[in-house]
Amino acid sequence: MNKLYTILLLTIACLNKTDANGGQKLRVYFIGNSYTQTNNMPQMIADIASSMGDTLVFEDHTPGGWKLKDHWNPPQDPCVSKIKTGNWDYIVLQEQSQLPALGQLGPSHPTYIYAGQFTKLIRDSAKCTMPMFYMTWGYKNGDPTNCPGLQYMCTYESMDSVIRMRYMELADSFDAVVSPVGAVRRYIRQNYPGIELYQADGSHPEVAGTYAAACCFYTALFKKDPLLITFNSTLPTIDASNIKIAAKTVVYDSLVKWGLNIADLSAAFEYTSSGTTVTFTNKSSSKAQTFSWNFGDGNTSIAKDPVHTYSTKGDYTVTLTTYDTNGCNRTVSKNVNLLTSTVEGVASTGFTISPNPAIESIIIQPNQQSVGFKIRITSIDGQVKYTAPANGPVKVDLSLFSSGMYYVILYNYTGIRHYGKFIKQ
């Protein structure tokens, strides 16, 4: 077994870059009401993105109870002028919580009318901005105000089903994408009923409900596996972990279902390495038609899945930019860290890991002052499993780690790096 581990050590080069120059940066404008405003959901998405090495720049306009119709009222409402700047990757549209489910959705329905006006304005203002509908949810015990006049509003399940159907109809009608928050919440209700998603009014989100929405939005916007998120807000680790599982199952594993990997342009890639040769696998959306790679050593490529050999080992920031047929683009960067080709190259003198092997958790203890350092854990195939500041000893919960070997790096941005490994039994 030790021989196998030695072989694996000789070929690993799998660390994503998380500093300000890495990851992705997206600009998003949120139009909605208290469902977006409660617990400051956009900021929670930004915090999640930061934990993943990405950047969300956002603005929002979310007065309580407002409908899309209320936002279409310049100069009292700033949304129209904000959209006209065209300086957005996405504009999120959230309707009042009950309105999409009231009556038949069609050309005379107010949600349909103003969703159409907003999506047209978005596309007239900037061809590269994608409208994204915020799929909301059924009330915890149905909507007594509109029951029994509308029987499907009488229970959570039927109200939620109609709301989901209406948001999917809007996306289909206006060639937009969906952030399926309601679908994530339903998965949580069905599989983790101990997680309280609702405030006492049975409508607005508790912190767990906002976190579920934020994980859903992060996955929809950045197209990354939410299981790798390290920001848990104020939630217990187990609740945050289960919410991330819901976001992965509903969103990340089904991007096409919500239009997120077809109508939407994204840039993403994975890689493996052997020595100084790195094989890149393009994971961008199907809307991406042409590709521009910068390997960080002065070499470039326009191949979809290039193979590149570096002249020397070291750290290289690799950037992929994708383009669609309209010339719109998305960019993502990762750090390729080619380790030395000796076992000693990953023997850490900068920290200790205990216990090792481990079952439930490990403690990573830096051997020196660690202010300004970060910790990153990757699997042997380069999947990033954990990131965190290294301000003293760090306890890592391994409940979501499968059995096997993992690699640890303690690093800062001045070039100091320490490497280690542990085994999860």
- Mean pLDDT over 208-218 rounds to 98
Least confident of 82-96, 258-272, 327-341: 327-341
CA angle, residues 58, 110, 169, in degrees to nearest 5: 75
Q: How confident is the model at residue 26 (pLDDT cuts 50, 70, 90)?
A: very high
* The predicted structure's pLDDT at residue 284: 86
Provide, rounded to the nearest whole percent, the portion of the chain with pLDDT above 90: 54
pLDDT, position 405: 81
- Give pLDDT, residue 2: 38
Q: Look at residue 7 in the predicted model and tell me its pLDDT.
A: 32
Query: Which domains are delineated in the chain?
Result: 26-258 (3.40.50.1110), 269-337 (2.60.40.10), 347-424 (2.60.40.3080)
pLDDT in tens, 239-251: 999 999 999 999 9
Sheet holding 269-274, edge to edge: 269-274, 277-282, 307-309
d(CA 156, CA 146): 13
* Alpha-carbon span 245 to 239, nearest angstrom: 10
What is the distance between the alpha carbons of residues 26 and 265, in angstroms, rounded to a whole number?
12
Average pLDDT over residues 232-260: 92
Residue type, 9: L
pLDDT of residue 371: 65
Between 307 and 283, the more confident residue is 307
> Is residue 29 within 8 Å of 92, Cβ to Cβ?
yes
Does residue 26 sit in helix, strand or coil? strand
Measured distance CA(252)–CA(176) in Å, rounded:
18
**pLDDT at position 3:** 37
Per-residue exposure over 354-391, b if at least 16 CB sit within 10 Å of its own CB, e if not = eeeebeeebebebeeebeebbbbbbbbebebbbbbebe
Mean per-residue pLDDT over the chain, rounded: 86
Rounded average pLDDT over 180-190: 98
DSSP 340-389: -SSGGGG--SSEEEESSSBSSEEEEEESS--TT-EEEEEETTS-EEEEEE
Sheet containing 55-61: order of strands: 55-61, 25-31, 90-93, 130-134, 177-179
Partner residues linked to 281 by β-bridges:
270
DSSP character string of 268-306: -EEEEEETTEEEEEE---TT--EEEEE-SSS-EE--SS-
Would you state the pLDDT for residue 274?
A: 82
* Backbone dihedral angles phi then psi of residue 334, each to the nearest 5 degrees: -140, 155
* DSSP code of residue 112: H
- Predicted TM-score (pTM) above 0.95: no
Summarize the confidence of residues 160-182 as an average pLDDT. 95
User: What CA dihedral angle connects 268, 273, 276 and 277, to 10 degrees?
Assistant: -70
46-63 per-position pLDDT tens digit? 999 998 888 999 999 999
Q: What is the pLDDT of residue 148?
A: 86
Average the pLDDT over each of 49-58, 120-129, 391-400 and give the range with the smallest value.
Answer: 391-400
What pLDDT is recorded for position 9? 34
Q: In this predicted structure, what is the pLDDT of residue 376?
A: 85
Q: Which of 27-36, 63-72, 268-277 has the lowest mean pLDDT?
A: 268-277
Residue 1 has pLDDT above 80, yes or no: no
Question: What pLDDT, in 10s, does the model give residues 332-385?
Answer: 888 787 754 333 333 455 788 888 888 889 998 887 766 678 888 887 666 778
Q: Over 50: is that where the pLDDT of 180 sits?
A: yes
Q: Which of 311, 228, 242, 233 is nearest to 270 (CA)?
A: 228
**Going edge to edge, which strands form the sheet with 361-366?**
351-354, 361-366, 394-397
**pLDDT digit string, tens, across residues 105-117:** 889 999 999 999 9
When pLDDT is cut at 50, 70 and 90, the band that residue 220 belongs to is very high
Section 385-409 average pLDDT = 85
Cβ distance 292 to 320 under 8 Å? yes
Q: Is the pLDDT of residue 261 over 80?
A: no
Tell me the two tokens of residue 64: 């309580």
